[in-house]
Amino acid sequence: MKNGTEFLLTDTVGFIQKLPTMLVAAFRATLEEISESSVIVHLVDISHPLAQQQIDAVERVLKELDVESIPKLVVWNKIDNTDEPLSVKEEAQKQGIICISAMNGDGLEDLCNAVQAKLKVCVPPS
């Protein structure tokens, strides 16, 4: 980060819904690592037509893993691929959601600042 803060970022499995039982079992071990996280960043492809169903599915899994007490940032990616980016951004702002476009870099500084703020709260300086 710009302020010199170092952190480990782990990318877990993406959207999971209606997977075969064997795959769910395999992913569960990876997902259980989330319980050791200081911050959860839930990255959503907001341009996907089923984005809300995907968000709901991830929220259910996080609840099953009993990690609701871990600070979380919700990030809507691909904001530039939505039909009405301004109204989507307004809705996100009302909900405390960060909007980014990984493709063109919009919002990435806001995301970094938000991660830094969450880490500052939950990980004391060493």
Looking at domain 38-121, does it have CATH number 3.40.50.300?
yes
Name the stretches of the chain with pLDDT < 70: 1, 5, 13-22, 24, 122-126
CA distance 73 to 96: 8
pTM over 0.75: yes
The per-residue pLDDT for 6 is: 74
The order of strands in the sheet holding 72-77 is 40-45, 72-77, 98-99
Which residue type does 51 have? A
The per-residue pLDDT for 62 is: 86
Angle at 40 between CA 80 and CA 114, to 5 degrees: 60
